[in-house]
Amino acid sequence: MTTVINVPHSLEDKSFEQVLEQVAPLPVDEKIIVDARHSRWASPYGLTALLALAQSRAERPILYVPEAENVSSYWSRMDFFKHAAELYEIQGRVKSAKAVETSVLLEVTSISKSDDVHDVVDKIQQRAQDALVKNLNLDAKITMRFTMALSEVCQNIVEHAGRGGWVAVQTYTWRVRLGGRRVVVIAVADPGIGFRQSLESAPAFQRKDRWDDGQALEETVMRGASRFRDPGRGQGLAGVRRFVGNWDGKLSIRSGTARIAVLPKGDWDEDEPLLENLPFFPGAQVQITIPERVA
Amino acid sequence: MINHIDVSSMLRKSVCELYSNLVTRPTGAAVRSEIEQELDRIGERALTVIDFSHVGLLDFSCADEIVAKLLLQYISTDAPRREVYFLFRGISEAHVEAIEAVLERHKLALVTQHADGETRLLGIIGLEERRAWEIISQLGVGAVADVAERTGLSRDDTERTLDTLWRRRLLIRADDGYVAVGSATIGSAPPSLEA
């Protein structure tokens, strides 16, 4: 049996839940067709999550590519199809990337080992200064800290996921809530073991009365818990939290059936701090959003 | 003996010739291992400059591996690896956040030296310890009595404070008192500090 999964017109972190609502009930070895023909836009989160989705399936899925040429071309420029070709049976005409996309700070990039993180850091440093300081009016200090945050969230894949994942970085206009303000977004997605299973693998792990994906996210993100005994562990995400707080940004992490969000002090986002009982999706999907500074 | 370790060179030597950023835990562990091998060659008692001047980015994992874990081996009150003192140079704004975070996490402190030669303490340190360190730093060489007089602390309390600073490898014990790490590198090392 083959099930068609409809991809929403606008594919970002919230609307990706519609994809997962369709996929989660299906056996992992059931063939799926991911139908993105009517997609008009995808955020870095949407693109990286689509790749993680394919990785999570036992049977190689089929991908119907977006019909709109500008959308297909944009996905090409983001290097999405380059990676998707190895994970999906691609059906439809893929428009080649002709123009350079200046809003893209980092195309969809595979992360599976420490060297990949070095490559990402080297690459982003060259592009981040202009994008963050000139285009988003942020203080020059942000460039290094932004790169540090990117490095830390990528390392989570290498250290905890148990398999490879994806990262992408882009600036775009956040029309939904910011009234047209620009943002820079880091998206990282993997289909690995996720936060709960990672903590459960700690030798000293003791199951609590209430123990689920939400609890695991709270322990890790808010209290710096780690599966390692080494007291130096768990500082990376704490640093990312500080970074996001200092720049009025937002951090959200989805793992398993829960999503936790560190919300901005400003009023540009009205998300829930913790969402539970979401459709199951393996691994972890991280999004960091930093808004432009307005006078 | 004063040794100089360029962290950027250690990175290129141990991990990759092309890298200039200290990111990822395996990278930090490899660089620390290289530094430890250097330290193994320099004898039982030494002052070592750890120079970050040519390092681009330093993330939390690398700061934990290179700074915190290195210090932890040499400040152990029970069995320190050897009597090695560290002076950190070239710590820029790009490094300080990660370094401060790991020092706080492990309740450590270090001495950092700016380009103009000025030294200061970074990390977790009590008010009395900081005051005592600053007095010794200003004096060049200071004894218990010098610090007790200036702080108003009892001789016993002062002795304990200076001993703690020595165990934390922020002060060097000399024949006639203590020398602050950092001041020893201005000019020549005190005669008692030999490899």
**Chain A contacts of B94, Cβ < 8 Å?**
144
Compute CA distances A195 → A14, A25, A162, whole Å.
20, 21, 11
B16, B26, B64 ranked by CB distance to A232: nearest: B64
The answer to whether residue B164 scores a pLDDT higher than 60 is yes
Say whether B69 and A232 touch across the interface (CB within 8 A): yes
The predicted pLDDT at position B45 comes to 84
Strands (E), chain A: 2-6, 10-11, 31-35, 41-42, 62-64, 89-91, 104-111, 165-174, 181-190, 250-256, 258-262, 274-275, 281-291
In this predicted structure, the answer to whether residue B159 has a pLDDT above a threshold of 90 is: yes
Instruction: Tell me the nearest-neighbour CA distance from B59 into chain A, angstroms.
Output: 5
Average pLDDT, chain A: 89
Which of A124, A151, A247 to mutate: most B Cβ within 10 Å?
Answer: A151
Domain count, chain A: 2
- Residue A31: beta bridge partners? A2
CATH number of the structural domain spanning residue B45: 1.10.10.10
Average pLDDT score over chain B: 87
Q: What are the tens digits of pLDDT across the range A50-95?
A: 999 999 999 999 999 999 999 999 999 999 999 999 999 999 988 8
Do A125 and A266 lie in one domain? The reply is: yes
**Mutation test of the interface with chain B: which of A148, A230, A241, choosing the one with the most B Cβ atoms within 10 A?**
A148
pLDDT of A177 reads 57
Shared-domain flag, residues A121 and A212: yes
CB proximity under 8 Å: A 95-134 to B: 114-115, 117-118, 121-122, 125
What's the rounded Cα separation, in Å, for the pair A283 and A153? 13
pLDDT number for residue A95: 81
Lowest mean pLDDT of A134-143, B111-120, B127-136, B142-151, name the range: A134-143
Contact A61/A89 with Cβ under 8 angstroms?
Answer: yes
Determine the residue type at B145.
A
pTM score, whole prediction: 0.86
What is the ipTM score, two decimals?
0.79
Mark whether A64 and A117 lie in a shared domain: no
Tell whether A268 and A153 lie within a shared domain.
Answer: yes
The answer to whether residues A22 and A111 belong to one domain is no
Question: Which residue in B29, B21, B20, B60 sits closest to A153, CA to CA?
Answer: B60
φ/ψ of B38, rounded to 5, equals: -60, -45
User: Which of the 8 DSSP states describes residue A95?
Assistant: P
Q: What is the per-residue pLDDT for B79?
A: 60
Kindly tell me if the per-residue pLDDT of B184 is higher than 60.
Answer: no
User: How far A114 CA lies from chain B's nearest CA (Å)?
Assistant: 6
> Domain end: A101, A136, A165, which one?
A101
Domain that holds residue A119: 103-295
Is residue B183 predicted with pLDDT exceeding 90?
A: no
Place B189 in a pLDDT band, splitting at 50, 70 and 90.
very low
Strand partners, A255: A258, A284
Is there a domain that residue B194 lies in?
no
CATH of the domain at A230: 3.30.565.10
Provide, rounded to the nearest whole percent, the portion of chain A with pLDDT above 70. Answer: 95
Residue B193 within any structural domain of the chain: no
Q: Which has the closest alpha carbon to A92: A38, A30, A50, A11?
A: A38
For A200-249, the pLDDT digits (tens) are 887 777 777 788 999 999 988 888 777 666 776 777 888 899 999 999 99
Kindly tell me if the per-residue pLDDT of B46 is higher than 90: no
pLDDT (0 to 100) of residue B109: 97
CATH number at residue A69: 3.30.750.24
Residue B172 domain-assigned (yes or no): yes
Residues 235-254 of chain A with CB under 8 A from chain B are 235-236, 238-239, 242
Of A114, A145, A151, the CB nearest to B97: A145
**pLDDT tens, A86-142?**
999 999 988 887 666 678 889 999 999 989 999 999 888 878 888 888 888 888 888
Convert the pLDDT of each residue in B79-120 to its tens digit.
656 788 999 999 998 899 999 999 999 999 999 999 888 899
Inside any domain, residue B10: yes
3-state secondary structure A187-239: EEEECCCHHHHHHHCCCCCCCCCCCCHHHHHHHHHHHCCCCCCCCCCCHHHHH
